[in-house]
Amino acid sequence: MWGGRYASGPSAIMEQINASIGFDRRLYAQDIAGSKAHCAMLADQGLISAEDGAAIQDGLDRILKEIEAGTFEFKTALEDIHLNIEARLAELIGDAAGRLHTARSRNDQVATDFRLWVRDAVDGLDEQLQALQAALIEKAEAHADTVMPGLTHLQPAQPITFGHHLLAYVAMVGRDRGRLRDCRARVNESPLGAAALAGTSFDIDRHATAAALGFDAPMENSMDAVSARDFTLEFLAALSISAIHISRLAEEIVLWCTPQYGFIRLSDAYTTGSSIMPQKRNPDAAELARAKAGRIVGAMTGLMIVMKGLPLAYGKDMQEDKEPAFDAAESLSLAIAAMAGMVGDMEADPDAMERALVDGFPTATDLADWLVRVLDMPFRRAHHVTGQIVALAEKQGCGLADLPLADMQRVESGITQDIYSVLSNVASVQSRTSFGGTAPGRVREAAKAAREKFL
């Protein structure tokens, strides 16, 4: 490829560090699509003949079939997917293949290919995240009345419903999908026609190629078009946040599966055993989904460091953008699939959840609220009075609902028998009817709204 300027070939090390065909071959479909759009535009603009245009289009179609059939020979000496396809095109149609690169550089070519790939990856991940939401919503509807401990600091806080807990993740995944949509909108501009960095002197139609490839518009600045990789960073940032959400749910599944919690059970489909301990049922799918966040956040961090301080326009450093993005997308895709499977598979144990509500005085806030509502007590004083009652119950080794009324009245004389109407866990969740609250009716409304919004 460089015979006009170079008298000898690269060293083995140079060939090894320079070649990207080992990983960028997955861009073949995007590269061929971009080349077909560019070829059509060149022919329409009279920059190549109709005959050469037709030969190029036919050759590219043949190459696509060869790659998909597994008969295409990828050559490391040709560095990347672009040159591999171009060389094969020359073998198929002869000199006409050389006209395809008119008014184009590998710089704008690779930027176009990669934007097309990120766009496709966003669409695929969005579809998977929607399926995860569907699994969560279905499980939430089934457990709108199932009462469990709500925790803060991993300590008993207030009773909630299992359905409410799961819908929290539906909302989080919804924002993940929103970030991907935002990313897609900024990805969806075409670098094609920016050439190496300065544009081209040929009379090309960048709007035509952008439209042909489904882009909203061509990028406005040719230097920015070839040197920008913020679209990849934004993609990886969106994936990182989504992976963290997956990791948090995975962590809870790991905890809920332990005998200490026992809130859920996973089947053999999503657990593994131990090589030495025959009794074990390990939630390995959740643990591995949790671990994927490290790879994905690492990919984002790594590319940020690659891009930091790079002068305009293109530098070969940018070749390092693809492997982390490919790996991150694959890792998140696998984690989402595993999580959707586990959510659908997990079987809740309402009795275990109810037993876990015995400790920690989870209805203490309900007691304080009753003091405010019925006795017109300022909340800060109600908080103090409730704390004294909790300390008394703790000393007697009983729950608030089991503490004698007389003992409560020694702390606050205005307390009546009605206090017990708010101290059960079921009464607590049923009272949380504020918008976004955990009351079963609200959970059902929220699940229905989530179906309409996301599915």
Strand partners, 161: 147
Which residue type sits at 441? G
Percent of the chain with pLDDT over 70: 98
SS3 234: helix
The per-residue pLDDT for 4 is: 52
Q: What is the pLDDT of residue 155?
A: 95
Q: How far apart are CA 21 and CA 100, in angstroms?
A: 20
The span from the CA of 385 to the CA of 368, in Å, is 8
| pLDDT band for position 5 (cuts 50, 70, 90) | low
Complete DSSP assignment for 323-385: HHHHHHHHHHHHHHHHHHHHHHH-EE-HHHHHHTTSSS-TTHHHHHHHHHHHH---HHHHHHH
Once rounded to an integer, what is the mean pLDDT over residues 422-445?
A: 98
**CB burial of residue 118 (10 Å; 0-12, 13-18, 19+):** buried
State the pLDDT confidence band at 17, using cuts at 50, 70 and 90. Answer: confident
The 3-state DSSP class for residue 126 equals helix
SS3 246: helix
333 is catalytic: no
Residue type, 129: L
Q: Give the contacts of 188 (CB within 8 A, at least 6 positions apart).
A: 115, 119, 214, 215, 216
> Rounded to an integer, what is the distance from CA 189 to the centroid of its chain?
22
Q: What pLDDT was estimated at residue 13?
A: 83
Catalytically annotated residue among 11, 49, 267, 274: 274
Is the distance from CB of 17 to CB of 25 less than 8 angstroms? no
pLDDT at 7: 54
Q: What is the pLDDT of residues 79-129, one digit of tens each?
A: 999 999 999 999 999 999 999 999 999 999 999 999 999 999 999 999 999
**Residue 218 bridge partners (DSSP):** 190
- Taking the CA atoms of residue 56, residue 58, residue 62 and residue 67 in that order, the dihedral angle to the nearest 10 degrees is 50
Above 60 in pLDDT, residue 3? no
Mutual orientation of helices 106-142 and 81-93 as an angle, nearest 10°?
Answer: 120
Cα R_g (the chain), whole angstroms: 30
DSSP state letter for 217: E
CA distances from 421 to 254, 366, 385, 416, 430 (A): 35, 10, 18, 10, 11
Q: How far apart are the first and last CA of the chain?
A: 50
- Average the pLDDT over 381-401 and give the result: 97
Per residue in 24-63, pLDDT (tens digit) is 999 999 999 999 999 999 999 999 999 999 999 999 999 9
Distance separating alpha carbons of residues 290 and 346, to the nearest angstrom: 17
pLDDT of 6 reads: 56
- pLDDT band with cut points at 50, 70 and 90 for residue 10: confident
pLDDT reported for residue 448: 98
Q: What is the pLDDT of residues 352-365, one digit of tens each?
A: 999 999 999 999 99
Residue 19 has a pLDDT of 83
The beta strand positions in 4-161, using DSSP E, are 147-152, 155-161
Average pLDDT over residues 170-195: 98
Report the alpha-carbon angle 400-443-255, nearest 5. Answer: 65
Is residue 8 scored above 90 in pLDDT?
Answer: no
Annotated catalytic, 431? no
- Contacts with 336 (C-beta within 8 Å, 6 or more apart), sequence order: 125, 128, 129, 131, 132, 242, 246
Nearest CA-CA partner of 146 in 421, 366, 438: 438
Count other Cβ atoms within 10 Å, centred on residue 191: 30
- Among 95, 61, 73, smallest CA distance to 21 is for 73
Helix axes 440-454, 162-187, angle to 10 degrees: 20
* Residues 335, 340, 453, 147, Cα dihedral to 10°: -120
From 153, 201, 275, 434, active-site residue: 153
- Mean pLDDT, the chain, integer: 96
Cα–Cα nearest to 438, from 447, 429, 446? 429
User: Residue 209 — very low, low, confident or very high, per pLDDT cuts 50/70/90?
Assistant: very high
pLDDT at 158: 98
Write the pLDDT tens digit of every residue in 218-251. 999 999 999 999 999 999 999 999 999 999 999 9
Question: In this predicted structure, what is the pLDDT of residue 1?
Answer: 55
pTM of the model: 0.95
- Chain-centroid distance of CA 414 in Å reads 53
pLDDT at residue 430 tops 90? yes
